[in-house]
């Protein structure tokens, strides 16, 4: 009988702990805004939370790079991502596709996203 009680307590504790981890992960959606190194044209202020809300599926972008700060720069440095690959394959392509469908979309011109030194 004691073994059944201990087993039940252990299972309950694991179930509660798993729920807490899942809730914690769900709350951690990353930064609201992210600054991405944009090369010679200047950095890009990326509205991360806005994209999460509109796209819904994190893997649309994060299938290209991990969900951690600096991952794009690391992948470029080791040759896994080509220069401008994220911008052309993800950002601009998605914005243009949405615009063609008549849906709200983001900018597609360089000067709209990249910061400039004035």
What does the alpha-carbon distance between residue 32 and residue 18 come to, in Å, rounded to a whole number?
A: 26
Instruction: Tell me the whole-structure pTM to 2 decimals.
Output: 0.68
The answer on pLDDT for 99 being more than 80 is: yes
Domain containing residue 77: 32-113
- 42 located within any domain: yes
CA dihedral over 92, 93, 98, 101, signed as positive or negative = positive
- 7 located within any domain: no
- 101 located within any domain: yes
- 19 located within any domain: no
Give the pLDDT of residue 64: 87
CA-based max dimension of the chain: 76
- 82 located within any domain: yes
Domain count, the chain: 1
- Higher-confidence residue of 115 and 89: namely 89
- 105 located within any domain: yes
For 85, half-sphere exposure in the C-beta direction (CA atoms, 13 angstrom radius) is: 14
pLDDT in tens, 1-41: 666 654 555 555 556 555 544 343 445 688 899 999 888 88
Long-range contacts (CB closer than 8 Å, 24 or more residues apart) made by 47-56: 54/104
What does the alpha-carbon distance between residue 74 and residue 76 come to, in Å, rounded to a whole number?
A: 5
CATH number at residue 94: 3.90.10.10
- 8 located within any domain: no
The 3-state DSSP class for residue 59 equals helix
- 46 located within any domain: yes
């Amino acid at each position: 009988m004691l073994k059944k009680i201990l087993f039940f307590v252990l299972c309950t504790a694991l179930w509660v702990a798993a729920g807490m981890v899942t809730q914690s992960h769900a709350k951690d959606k990353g930064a609201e805004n992210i600054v991405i190194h944009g090369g010679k044209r200047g950095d890009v202020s990326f509205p991360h939370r806005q994209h999460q809300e509109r796209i819904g599926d994190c893997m649309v972008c994060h299938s290209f790079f991990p969900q951690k700060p600096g991952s794009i720069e690391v992948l470029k440095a080791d040759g896994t991502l080509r220069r401008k690959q994220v911008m052309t394959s993800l950002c601009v392509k998605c914005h243009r596709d949405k615009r063609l469908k008549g849906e709200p979309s983001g900018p597609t011109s360089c000067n709209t996203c990249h910061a400039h030194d004035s």
